Amino acid sequence: MSAYMNETRKIRERMTFLKSLPDYNSDDVKWGTSPGDKDFFEICKNKLKEYPIKTVLDVACGRGEFIETCNKEGFVAYGIDPVNSGNDIYSGTFESLINAQSVPIIDCVTIHNVLHGRGHSKKTILGLFDFLRNHSKYIVITEPDYKKMGLPILTNKFELLHTFSGSHGGKSAIHKLYKVKGI
């Protein structure tokens, strides 16, 4: 077995915590992927290749288009989504991820086009950022409206590496790549 295949197998074994996330099903929520998302996925994947990133966890991954893009490029990518599941996509919510046990360090966690403009509670956002600080080396995020939520800027302890621009459903969104300090 080649060194690359052996390393990939070991990474996949560490990511088994995803199998233990509780199921969440909803027939009334449907997510789509816009052309702007697909463009962003390509740009983001190319930027991630510039850093020592092997594993990617896409949170709220939809149908998994970004996971597919990353896996084709040689990353070991997984996703969680409350609605979709399938190849390398596990059913789960922010809360189930925050409460997951035996989580390894993940090279990059992506949370794009999810937190801005959605009604997530302060507790959920704070828990998610604790998860990021404790379990990821890099993050790609579309940041929430901290002021509107009454929260401090939660990425101020991370090192900003790159700012992307993108779109989602016709709305402009700013995506940022950070290095998580302290890991």
Query: Which pLDDT value is given to residue 28?
Result: 37
Query: Which pLDDT value is given to residue 52?
Result: 96
| Coil, helix or strand at residue 105 | coil
- The whole-number average pLDDT for the span 4-10 is 63
Query: Which pLDDT value is given to residue 84?
Result: 67
Mean pLDDT across the chain:
78
Q: What is the per-residue pLDDT across 147-179, written as a single tens digit (0 to 9) for each?
A: 877 888 888 889 999 998 654 544 556 789 999
User: Domain-by-domain residue ranges, the chain?
Assistant: 3-179
Q: What is the per-residue pLDDT across 92-149, written as a single tens digit (0 to 9) for each?
A: 788 888 888 888 899 999 987 777 655 678 888 888 889 999 999 999 988 777 887 7
Spatial contact of 176 and 141, defined as CB atoms under 8 Å apart: yes
| pLDDT > 50? residue 29 | no
| Coil, helix or strand at residue 157 | coil
Q: Report d(CA 2, CA 146) in Å as an integer.
A: 46
More confident residue, 10 or 100: 100
Cα-based distances in Å from 97 to 57, 109, 155: 11, 12, 19
pLDDT-derived band at 41 (thresholds 50, 70, 90) equals: confident
Task: For residue 3, give every residue at least 6 positions away whose Cβ sits within 8 Å of its Cβ, in sequence order, or none.
Answer: none
Domain 3-179 has CATH 3.40.50.150: yes
Query: Which pLDDT value is given to residue 24?
Result: 42
- The whole-number average pLDDT for the span 18-32 is 47
Name which of 68, 75, 72, 73 is nearest 54 in CA terms.
75
